[in-house]
Structure 1
Amino acid sequence: MSRSLRVTYLLLIMLPAAVFVSAQTREDSLRGVLAQKALPLEQRIPTMVRLAQTVFFNKDWAQGVRIYREALVLAAPLKDGQYRAHTYGGLLGAYYIMGDSIAARRCLDSAMWYARRTTSKKIQGYVQYMKGWMEVRSHKEIEAIRSLQQALALLEDEPAAAVTRLSVYGELAFVYFQWYDLVNIEKYTRLALAEAPRTNSPDDLVSAHQDRGSYFINLYRSNTADREALDSALWFMRRAFYIGQANRAKLAVPSSIPHSAIGIANIFLAFFANTDAIKDSINYYNRIALEEARATKQFAVEVGVYNTLGSMAFEKGDYLDAIGYFRAAVDTGTKDILHNKFDLSQSNLMLAESYERTGDTARALHHYKQYMTLYKAQFDEGKMNNARELEAKYEIAKKEKDILEIRLLAEQRNRQLVQARVLAGQKDRDLLAARYAASLKDKALLAAEYEKGVRQQALITANYKTAKREQELKVMGEQMTYNRNMNKIYAVLTIAFFLAGLFLYYAYRHRSKSLAQTKKLHDLELGRLKQEHRISMLAATLEGQEKERTRLARDLHDGLGGLLSGVKIELSGLTALTTDPQQGTIVGKSLHHLDIAVDELRRIAQSMMPEVLLAYGLGEAAREYCNGLKKSGIPVTCQVYHYKNDMDPNRQVSLYRIMQELVNNAVKHANATHILVQLQQSDTRIYLTVEDDGDGLDKMQMTRLKGAGLANIQSRVEMLQGKLDVQSSPGTGTSFTVECLTTAEK
């Protein structure tokens, strides 16, 4: 693998999902956007995803993952699946980089599930890209190419998806770089170079020029007589370097500059004559690469520069300088968790040879062993990659062969079928001709017999008709007279019966409707009375409970609190009278315990009936309650939007008790890492939402919850004449939403 290809590989590993790490200014800008309280969820969630990516790649992996999880919690109420699909896509890249492939696979499954629940082609293409991205790193190149091609099909007509399309081109080029498929490498590096200006990102331009330069380096290696390919490689690498320097302040990835610089230095070192001018160029670009790599912590670039300088010193015979450079290469390479085994093995080999030239055989032997260990690991990895590549190519050839064999068998079967049909047609024609001749003979015989029978039947019929006609004429006259009389009687009776039946049917229908309507009105009135009675009983019960809570809180605060304060004052008087240090210590501890008891008593009284709720309303009471839990170590966040505090006090108390019950359930049973309490008012409607990212609930747990704790909450919601919505499934957390009016309906 060429050094430029290794540089491209490193960039692809460190920059997942085509979203580059940004500077501190970008993080501050994103946090400023999120600080806007009126920011809609549809804009807040993508902004949180960008912030998570920025924090993950620049500051702290764990903090970035937490922001991803918070975005998932916020996206739960949205029906469109694109927001959760986008968030899960970024989260799977983070987990894969952290080494948790199982969590990454779960995130991919979730992203695919939510992508099927949106019409956004951009998000569907992004999820397919992330699937291919993970398959490339899992050495599943055939599946990766299929996923990436599907991503391109979805993103083809999406003008806002230029960044994702560019990333897809880069992934495809990387796969074909591994297979040394110059035709496809040329295609996708060319497409990436054409797409990069549309993203308005200098990082994309730099990366596209670097990949294009790597293509021309491989093209020149396949034909060293093609000097134009070498000139093109040098031009694209220099172009990437100049773009990076000109846009240094705008670069989200400052490491692009040292990568371009060392790429240029390696081209001069590997393919140009060893003249003084070339040496000056190599030293110039190596110095820039080293300075920039140290500033951006690009250990792979530092190792490459140290190896180059060490090799040049070794060739001059400056073995001590060579040892210093190779020693620095080994030390720097071991800092990089993604270190290149080939570069590190070569550093150990050259360091061993340098020590050997100085006569230090012990150190030389040590680094020879390090070289052999790394070389073996690299050789084994190379064998695995070659085996995967050969297996992938074999599978492609096998599929093409199977398709050709299927087509050949189909053509043979078609020819046999046509021949069989021709023979069958000839036999059918001969059989039909014989049947037609026989039918003509039978038809002539039947026609003769039929004519004879017709003549005899005509004679008999004529005689019979004559006699019958005479008899019929006589009977017909009598029958006509009788029929006219009977028809008149039947008509009168029919009309009378019809009118009577119509009258009875109308009376029956009218009475049935009247009875049904009366019964329905009675049932409705009875149900209304029962509902009002149940609500009034419930309101009276809850009002009694709240009065009892208020009385107990007052008694605890005024009675027991005053008593404890009196005991504390009396004990405080003993402090001045006690001369024994041990007794003084006991009195001090007793006073401390009394302080704790008074604080606990105040907390209990405040929980039973918070004064903030009565004085300042539900919004401030909810904030104070959540802040108290947060101080005790419980991860609770409270958000209050547009709350006007115009709600009936009794209804505020009921909503406060509902919030307490839901938060306590989440703390005790959900195993949540974050709980969100949100109170929002829209005109005369109040919305209270309590969400957590805990274990979630399955159907059996939901049934038990409805039969126990949820019954108390449901009864309070009915007393408020409101609605309760529960959204939960195992592993995705739980969301409770209560909706009611500020005043009771009349």
Structure 2
Amino acid sequence: MKRLHLVFLLFATCLGHAQNNSTLNDYEVTIDSLKNAISTSKSDSLRCIMNYRLAYIYTKNVDKKELGRTHLKKANELVKNNSYLKDLSCYYNSLFFSLTKENLQKFRKADEALKKYNSREIYILRSKILFNIGLLYQRENEPLQTIEVLVKEAIPVAKKSKDSQELSNLYKLIAVVFYNNEDIAKTKYYLDLSISTLEQGKSKKNRYNEDLIELYLFNVEVLSVQKKTNEAFEYLQKAEDLLKSYPLKSLYIEYYFAKGSLNQEIKNYEQAISDYDNGVRLSQLNKDSALEQRFKLMKYEVFILQNKIESAKDLLLDVFKTGGMNIKDRAYYSYELSKIYRKLNDFEKAYVYNEQYIQLKDSLSQMFEAEKIADIEAKYNKLENENKIKELTIEKQATLLNQRKNMLFLLLLSFALVCVLIFAYFIWKNLKNQKKITAQKEINHFQKLNNLKREKEIEIMQTMINVEEAERKRVARDLHDSIGSKLSALKIIFANTQNKNDYNDSRINTILETSIAELRQISYNLVPESLLKLGLEKALGDLCFTLRSDTVSIEFHSYEIDNSMPLTTQTNIFRIVQELLNNALKHSKATQILVSCSQNGNRFYISIEDNGVGFNISEIEENQGLGIKNIKSRIELLHGSLDCESSSGGTSYNIELDV
């Protein structure tokens, strides 16, 4: 069972630090994009979310964790009074908590803060938090609590997120818990669930291949324990095929451990020693002395199986010389050295190591007794304190009872007077309230009339906009199908008669091509085809691309836009952006315009900035044109808000809509 414990130790390490050992190579494009968005965005909410995402990415590499803390601090400063961002901050701050009992309530608080949201993204964050809570219990050697958290809380949440990678990681942690408790049957059940879940939900997400390799290697260990060597070699080959295109040193350490264990199981001892030597070499390169020591101890087990006593002795002495073993391992391998020296007839050294073994066992026993004594003392002190609290509580209750008797006598004497005063007060209060109620009814009636009037105005406005959009569609269809087709036919006729008549065909064709192009542009302006067919995000991108010129650069950024919104909502958003861009092109004299659109749940954010000459906001408020009124009407229909800032250096619009 010594070997089983060593194997578990390696996989527990992999689980505990998987997120911290990743490189940032796969995230470079994302990091650059997030940094650019932070530097250009004027929205505090967007900048807050971008900084949180950068902090999350940097937690994946130990060397960059301090940089992650810097972005976390910036994001926390931008939260302000936004309730959603406050709840979101609980998760991102939990990424920097150590997995100790002292932080358990902080993890629970983070999960509780996100329970009110039902989006897929939030379910993924919650499953990560619950995974860490389970891992915390597992490290505290509390397997029952680990299983309970994972099965009753984490897995249902992960299933709602529909993220196969998160669900697979939860199954893998359950398998490790059962593996540590030597329940191989349940280990295999949950490990198979983890592998099938990950394989069926194949994705291009970061760490997908790494997770799959770790699962295959873990399965090799379990199959080896079950004596299913043929199947174990199949999974070892799968892992090896993936490793060829994914050469991470840490994964090769796991590979050599699994391969060495399997070769040891089938008594291919020389190959097992070669595998363990490769593991030692990579552990030294990674400067991981603990793993290096474990590989050497596994190699020692092989030497014993080969009856290479001298080699086994030299290896154990080297491990003892290096140091770093815990007291239990030192006791165990002291006894092993004692047996080796007896076999070599060196009874003097056998006696020395046997004495060392006895001393270490005594130390362990003393430590165990000390822990038991401390536990008994703690229980006794707790009981004493509880008894003292009970005595104080009884005394306090007796004192309170005497005070209540005295107070009751005084209350009875004053009760009659108080009743009279209360009766008089209620008569006066009733008369006063009647006047207030009458006045309030008049105010409520007036407010109700105003609300009805406002609702009617909004209803009329919505009807006007719907009629306008329907008319635009009809005009666009007629222009495209009728006049456009006739002009195209005319072009074909002139082309067919080109060699028969002395017309200026080149000029005629040019005029016709220009007319057709203008008709198509008119049709696009009325109802953009890309909005109907490809959705809002593509339509906005096409709009920005179409309005570019040699003198004006228009840059468009989008983040998580949901193209399944109702068409009327998408159309309103498109018209808002279109009108603002037209205003900027007509009046601002700008050379650069930046358009940013993003969506978070049912909130949609629009940010448009230019480097033009700006304008006087107060004058615009007094003399609003049809374009500005149209923009504000659409924003009001979507229960949104508009924030405008303008100076001689440029103008920025920040719009928040409810979609």
TM-score range, shorter chain: 0.3 to 0.5
TM-score (ref. length: structure 2): 0.47
Larger Rg: 1
